Amino acid sequence: MGTHLCKGKDLICVKCKEEKPEVDFYKRENSPTGYRKSCKSCLRKQKVMRVYKVSCEEYDLLYSKGGCYICGSKEEVGVYGKVKELSVDHCHTTGKVRGLLCQSCNVGLGAFKDNVKSLQNAIKYLKERL
């Protein structure tokens, strides 16, 4: 049966050791269970660690500061009902990690291309028209 422990339709992730439904795992044809050993969440975190050079401990520390650094949400549910991990916000010039953002805040901030003056103008615009 491999390293997965099956209980009905639930699998146990080898990384986080949590029991989760099959939908939380990517399919893998050559696996005894038909699914990858690690859950989708752990695989995304692994990618984040590799791309941004952030350890699990550092990610968890960033997350423990309240979720999204702009709106405070802990997670975001996407259009298909799947929970999305918080994005690692970073400076595109230096690569320095700034914090975690939900997808909405990350996209919104990214649209301003780190231009503080434009963001200030947007805030002023909103305040004047509320």
Give me the CATH number covering residue 96.
3.40.1800.10
Residues 33 and 75 in one domain: no
Segments forming the whole domain that contains residue 24: 1-52
Asked whether residue 89 is domain-assigned, the answer is: yes
Of 83, 89, 111, 84, nearest to 101 (Cα)? 89
Please tell me whether the overall predicted TM-score, pTM, comes out greater than 0.75 for this model.
Answer: no
Mean pLDDT is lowest, of 1-5, 26-30, 48-52, 76-80, for: 1-5
Q: Are strands 19-21 and 10-12 parallel, antiparallel or unpaired?
A: antiparallel
| Distance of alpha carbon 29 from alpha carbon 13, whole angstroms | 17
Residue 2 has pLDDT above 70, yes or no: no
- Provide the pLDDT for residue 82: 67
Condensed to tens digits (0 to 9), the pLDDT of residues 15-73 reads: 889 999 988 888 888 888 889 999 888 887 777 778 888 887 887 888 888 889 999 98
Asked whether residue 109 is domain-assigned, the answer is: yes
Residues 39 and 73 in one domain: no
| Distance of alpha carbon 87 from alpha carbon 84, whole angstroms | 9
